[in-house]
Amino acid sequence: MAGKGLWIAVVVVAVLAGCSPGSSPGGATGAGVDAGAPSGRAVAGDGSIPEGQSISLDDDQHAAIANLDPALLAAVRKAAADAKSRVEFRVTSGWRSKEYQQRLLDQAIDLYRSEEEALRWVHPPDKSAHVTGKAIDIGPTNADDWLIQHGSDYGLCQAYANEMWHFELLTTPGEPCPQPKSNA
């Protein structure tokens, strides 16, 4: 039973990091530019990042970065520059197409065998801040810790208590962050 619990925990972390259980390296691609992309600089692709990998904040050729809200991207880049001597920020998920977000939700429903439980972890496309480019998932854990402590200086806040890696612009820079919601 402990082995099964560990496997489920690994899969949950993969799903929440924007990876799909059982996905192959390279992830899903080719969904095209989503109409919900926030700027005129949209890059083709669905925003997926290969399982177990991350990308640089400077990877403007990747849809997960290029299609982010410009204000969010600027804030995260400034925070990363200020934290650089202590920690490196890596992007585990950024902008996502509606189709990719729906796949993540479908996979979570399969994993949890409950739509109610899946919705605690993954929003449907019409409610996801990733689809609008207004959310970013950062790693590794020490980068998350740094952002939780200093993110409000940039307007960046942890949005959900059960997702220490998920950040959104939720405050005016220098003001305190709102209390994270318990889950999605």
Which CATH number is 139's domain given? Answer: 3.30.1380.10
Please, what sign has the CA dihedral across residues 182, 151, 36, 18? negative
165 within domain boundaries: yes
pLDDT value for 44: 79
Tokens of 167: 């950040």
**Residue range(s) defining the domain that contains residue 150:** 2-24+51-169
Q: How many domains does the chain have?
A: 1
**Is the whole model's pTM more than 0.75, yes or no?**
yes
Q: pLDDT per position in the chain (184 positions), as tens? A: 444 443 333 334 344 444 333 232 223 333 333 444 444 456 779 999 987 899 999 999 999 999 999 999 999 999 999 999 999 999 999 999 999 999 999 999 999 999 999 999 999 999 999 999 999 999 999 999 999 999 999 999 999 999 999 999 999 999 999 999 998 8
46 within domain boundaries: no
For tokens 């990733």, what's the residue?
130
- H helix runs in 84-140, sequence order: 98-112, 115-118
DSSP 152: G
Determine the 3-state secondary structure of 115 from DSSP: helix
